[in-house]
Amino acid sequence: MGCVMSLPAVRGLTEQLQSMSSLHWRVLLLDVHAQPASVMLERFAFRTTPTYILYDGQGDELWRANSVPSAGVLIALVRG
């Protein structure tokens, strides 16, 4: 239920990232109850929802958490 409740915050964060940063962001929202979810759950190795994972352009994981991050935190992580 937490993932459904956080959806508005995630959508807002996505819009904020696109508007305030020159960086390119790709956001993937995954419905863990849909058929392709089992493959994605295995690939991204998470067991609880919601799970937020940040990858760099080379596919390396930079950050992972179970709460919606702020745009500032994500931008700082990407910029190093």
What are the residue boundaries of the structural domains of the chain, listed by start? Answer: 2-79
Spatial separation of the C-alpha atoms in residues 3 and 21, rounded to whole Å: 25
Annotation: CATH topology of 2-79: Glutaredoxin (3.40.30)
- The per-residue pLDDT string of the chain (80 residues; one tens digit each, 9 = 90 and over) reads 456 777 788 888 888 877 876 777 777 777 777 777 778 778 888 777 788 888 888 888 888 888 888 888 888 887 77
How far apart, in Å, are the Cα atoms of 36 and each of 7, 11, 41, 71?
19, 21, 9, 28
